[in-house]
Structure 1
């Protein structure tokens, strides 16, 4: 459970007896005991066991108390959409208002406001990433914050008739959301009230919440004093960690190191991998400040190992976006900067940097799908002599290319800041997909100059003909085939190109056999534009390769599921699909209904053995999101599919149909997929076709 989330728990009262009217009093008492145990497990961060027990309890039926605890669990897991939905339902039902004491109502108001506050932070993060939806996400973040503020004010107003703890919680929440409302008089009063409480984990939590509003060394020392008195490892790791952060910000690095080491010891004693990762990372930063690079390296590696253990411990559980954004991503990128910003990076250092990059890719997939991607990252495959892998790494201060040739790595620093690269990438991605007003050429030149020119001599020396791009962030959205050199040649004219997540996958080359081709041309509420040429595309493929086709109403989730029971190795979908920066906005259209990405994934995973190839000829990815292409790549990885071919943007359906037919014609005659794609693209170039109609198609492997 993220450190900043302190849940205020619901009181499980004898009102349960009314719901379970056919149960005995002893059975209701047993239920109360089980629900109390679930709440404690959530507080301790043992979310897997809490989820298991809560599911078991729910089998006997549900009432508002069970729903409230489910919302608490969803909040602790970072599933803000689900928690907010349940809290809103309970709020509308006037949950807790009819009780003699208002503890449950206050718990609802406090936790509901916290869920909204957490989601507003996610929207703010998306606003900073997605240029073209910045206003939309900023507005959503502000709406959530204002809604949360209204709930907290309501909690403060109602808290006068409740327990002292409820009053403290409500006022602390208000102080966090509206610091201007928290006067010095309020500060002194609430300090006295916290001191008057008996020593407990809740008292420590209150001190730590107050420190977020008004950080001071005496308050931190009071929190630590209580944690030491309790000798509770979870309270100790939080209190020592907060003290370490204070000393780090104050520039007292020796004290920061001592505190972070104590925080790490406490976290390690209870296998709290999230806390351990945080405090080992803090130790690494402090060691760097103290000019002790060897110790920093050890601490970074300890932090990375904790992240790996954390991923393992979360298997089968929900993954919090806040955990990724606040801890995992900045930790891994900071370690990458440490490794690569050295006078001379050894082969071992570059290999380690790529291992961290792969862990980062996996963690991004976890974050996007909201679940741990349970895949085994294999060792890097051996490369053919004519193949090179190009890794891009965008870091706050500097950005890099690592070029792999055979078993040798070469490091190049990009001569542009990561912010400049991101802005240019967003602009080019927008220009190249704009049929009427876009000018792709400046961006094509720019990215050829930045990404290919520095490595061109080594590519020529080693007679490279196939490039595999493992892109970072927003660069995943770029059509590398459309890079333009000084001789006015597109990159695809010189190299076959594929994309990878860098997780050990490889392109499996063989002829397409017995495909299952499905197509839907009708409009829907999610995709209002019809694509009539999708029917021609499906028939053309069927004429070339045979196999099975499902058209329009014949293409339903049920028929797709049934057909996938057969030994098809290739699934071609000529229908609308969209991969957004938000997983809930990622959709696949069938002839009868629109599927969410999770629903589509469940169909793909229903097979005993996975299909080998998935081709989505009419998909589009959100141009301003670094996560969107992860959805396209991740659906293949999580479903065990070797290769995915998809499009970065939606093109005119007639031109897409013609291009796809040409691709299959080349592929049929013993060319690899990436080479068949290349030949189809070169054919379009020779016809003078704009890149908007051919550059979007990419071949992706794990």
Structure 2
């Protein structure tokens, strides 16, 4: 009897471990087919609960979820007949995972509750009980994560870790800790997430090389990629390769290395590093080719599909003909499964692109590559029609009774009809796709197809229906926002292609007064009143876009930040939202105190011309010798943005501050430098401030400041990058000390992360002024400040500055980063500055868009603090007076010297 129970426990332990390896990290974003032969059903197998459980695992791993559910139900019955509560608990936790895949959430919840119920009935106390309980916690955590209950999921995964430890399962411990890190990152606890990842790494490092170690390292590499640490991920994955000679393990790791290189390439192209981006793309292709070359590898097809997608994304469609044929052969040899369906959907998208089609919804070539002249090279793919792949995917999804897969396939088929201008058929298929997920919790599917439906309704002239569909799409996006926060290669930078357009098209619809496309002879858009409700919804849409961008940049949620009540808005500030749309610049503005506070103007102009003009203006502003060229474009931009508002501003003399919530390339332009032909905007008696998403920064008057001072004046070389000396460092800090209460400054060798952390005691300072080199970028890994022989990266800076506002202390009132700049070639670099402003909790951040002249910078900062020390002076007003002193009094008339400064956040 004892021997039998030992064998039973050992079998449960093995089965639990096998399925734990497959699903501990949640549902994969890249589906990998695994063709296996499933034994035919017969009475002997049906009566053997353990074999049914194992066979269900094999079906699950090939993503045949409905069939796995059938076998696990039979397995549960077998365990019940044997009066084995642990077996029933294991079968039900497995069932919960499969139900989750199919969107059957109530059944998934019921199964996991039954699993815990059976666990409490067991009298066993050995390690296998802890193993099964850990797996049940893991299933519950994944269910909670799917519902957006991130805090609850974290608690479940912490419980899973505890039970895996009790059961002595190191692999399970690693998996559950990686899940914890993912949840902590989304909740904003990035430091704690990184501590867990380091702990996992140290555990793996102490283990001997083996396939299990290679698997753990690969999982860690994947987790690091998800939280945006691509370089670290790359190093860990290389170690995974070295840890095993197993060809299957090597293929999976090579595939993941290709994904990391692709992510690095996307980052590089987004911040203007074209040569580096090409190198990463080349490396990614090589890794995919190596993975595909390993015979009988489960990753072979996925590596080929990723290779094909990357060739298309980088405009190398002419190199794909033989690859297309290889993929088709591989697909024809796959058994029906969700993996096969997803592979066909992936393949169909690539085939559509290769036929020369590109659109915002399809996004064949990423925008940044397109901006650099990369275009698709069409392939004559008549023998590989995407419609055939999609029709096959629909049929097989129906055979598998998989509503998720069927919804994806129907929606993508509808998208193909949309591209071919067959709108009636496209609408029917899209509505069928939405119908399939009507009873499912599937916001990641719904947002795509509601967006598609909105486009189709707009094309048919149904504006009201289109707005409703876009609204549903954006509501669904809110539900999957925590998934979009993870900076996977196919998430963070594809945000710009696959998420941002939804917001922009929605706002475009709200601000279009015409029910359908305007015909000849109709009034100009700017002459027709738009309802206050639509204007308010448009502002909310742009606010939501900017919030989503910041969350995507930071990799964490900002939902906990309180919204500002309407009566807290400064009654002397006009809030201006200039929005760059496809065929116009839309300007929504709020002037407090009026019967209808929201108003609208529009300047008809093509988006491409706007972007070209603003990029040229930005370049010329950074060159003091290019002032005449800068003024020409500054006047053009003034006519677009400010001239339409002059009359209404003149009618409201109570307005003392213009607060811009800029959009797109406008974020890289100093609004004060806009020019009417005679005067700059900064000269027109109103202060200027910038606020990325107004409701993140509560405007309120600042009390007297106590400033923490520091900086680096000496020349340094860090990581092969040279930083020039800052001659005026001591003079600038001394002048601030003569005006306000300050700390003893940390200068040069003293300006280290350790010293900064020790000096930033909670509540001791209300402001920080650091004069040091730094760069702001749309890539958080390329956003940093220079310390002594070190770079303080964005996430470390967040941690350091948050030190000063812990333990209930007040948030930092002002953060001044003198001598910094935004990255050249990165049209979203100000996102890095805004990200620092939000994440550190600083109410206001003052910095520079390009590197300031050292002497002029010192004079401006001295005047800024002198003005700020005067009672009742706002930060925006103090900055304006300091800029005017450079422009009018101190001999710096070129905007290069005075226009670089930008105040982000609270302007009061």
TM-score range, shorter chain: 0.7 to 0.9
Specify the alignment match of 1:441 in structure 2: 631
Partner of residue 629, structure 1: 830
2:449 matched to 1:279?
yes
Match of 2:20 in 1: 34
1:342 matched residue in structure 2: 513
Asked if 1:194 corresponds to 2:331, the answer is: yes
How far apart are residue 41 of structure 1 and its match? 2.8
**SS of equivalent to 1:42:** coil
Q: Does 1:562 align with 2:562?
A: no
Query: Are residues 1:113 and 2:254 paired?
Result: no
- Shift in Å, 1:339: 1.2
Aligned to 1:11: none
For normalisation by structure 2, the TM-score amounts to 0.67
Residues 577 and 167 (structure 1 numbering): CA distance in 2 closer, same or farther, change over 3 Å? closer
Cα distance in 2 for residues equivalent to 1:579 and 1:390: 24
Quick one: distance in 1 between partners of 2:394 and 2:787? 57
Q: Report deviation, 1:119.
A: 4.5
Q: Of residues 380, 389, 392 in structure 1, which corresponds to 2:578? A: 392
Say which one has the larger Rg.
2
Structure-1 residue corresponding to 2:667: 476
Paired residue for 2:643, among 435, 453, 457?
Answer: 453
CA contact (8 A) 1:422 1:474 kept: yes
CA displacement at 1:468 relative to structure 2: 0.8
C-alpha separation in 1, matches of 2:238 and 2:478: 35
Give CA deviations for 1:518-537 in whole Å, capped at 9, x if unaligned: 22212222552111311111
Question: Superposed, which structure 2 residues align to 1:241-252 within 5 Å?
Answer: 241-252=411-422
Deviation of 1:186 after TM superposition, in Å, equals 6.7
Contact 1:324 1:363 in 2 (8 A): no
2:689 is the alignment partner of 1:519: no
Deviation at 1:538, TM superposition (A): 1.1
1:491 aligned partner:
682
* Aligned: 1:149 with 2:285: yes
C-alpha contact (below 8 Å) 2:856/2:897 kept by paired residues? yes
SS of residue in 1 equivalent to 2:513 = coil
1:33-52 equivalences under 5 Å are 33-38=19-24, 41-43=27-29
Shift of 1:485: 2.4
After TM superposition, the score normalised by the length of structure 1 is 0.86
Q: Which residue of 2 aligns with 1:9?
A: none
- Shift in Å, 1:372: 3.4
SS of the residue 1:531 aligns to: coil
Q: Does the 8 A contact of 2:711 with 2:772 survive in 1? A: yes
Q: Which digits, 9 at most, give the CA deviation of each residue in 1:541-599, with x for residues without a partner?
A: 11211221223233322222222224311111122222123221111123453211111
Q: Note the 1:120-131 alignment, pairs <5 A.
A: 120-121=265-266, 123-124=268-269, 126=270
Change (3 A) 1:157 1:56: closer
Whether the 8 Å CA contact 1:531–1:653 is kept in 2: the answer is: yes
Is contact 1:233–1:269 with CA below 8 Å preserved after alignment?
Answer: no
Cα distance in 2 between the residues matched to 1:260 and 1:654: 61
CA contact (8 A) 2:716 2:789 kept: no
Matched residue, 2:113: none
Q: What is the distance in 1 between the residues matched to 2:568 and 2:587?
A: 20
Q: Distance in 2 between matches of 1:415 and 1:489?
A: 23
Question: Where in structure 2 are the equivalents of 1:312-351 lying within 5 Å?
Answer: 312=482, 320-343=491-514, 344-351=529-536
Greater Cα shift, 651-660 or 351-360: 651-660
> Deviation at 1:342?
1.9
Q: Is the aligned partner of 1:352 residue 2:541?
A: no
Deviations 1:424-467 (A, max 9, x none): 21222222221345433223322222211111011001113321
Give the drift of 1:492: 3.3
Contact 1:644 1:701 in 2 (8 A): yes
- Residue 212 (1) aligns with residue 354 (2): no
| Aligned twin of 2:391 | 221
Distance 1:397 1:655, change over 3 A: same
Q: 418-427 vs 684-693, which deviates more?
A: 684-693
The CA deviation at 1:500 is 0.9
Distance 1:300 1:538, change over 3 A: same
Count of aligned pairs: 661
Aligned to 1:7: none
From 177, 196, 200, the counterpart of 1:56: 177
> Which deviates more, 545-554 or 331-340?
545-554
Distance 1:76 1:240 in 2: 29
Counterpart position of 1:418: 607
SS of the equivalent of 2:499 reads helix
- Partner Cα distance (2:321, 2:869) in 1: 74
Residues 246 and 379 of structure 1: CA distance in aligned 2, closer, same or farther (over 3 Å)? farther
Which of 716, 719, 723 is the matching residue for 1:528?
Answer: 723
Distance 1:119 1:564, change over 3 A: closer
Q: Where does structure 2 lack aligned partners over 5 or more consecutive residues?
A: 1-9, 30-100, 102-141, 159-173, 179-198, 205-212, 352-384, 515-528
**Structure 1 residues 84 and 684: alpha-carbon distance in aligned structure 2, compared to 1, 3 A threshold:** same
Q: For residue 63 of structure 2, what is the aligned residue in structure 1? A: none
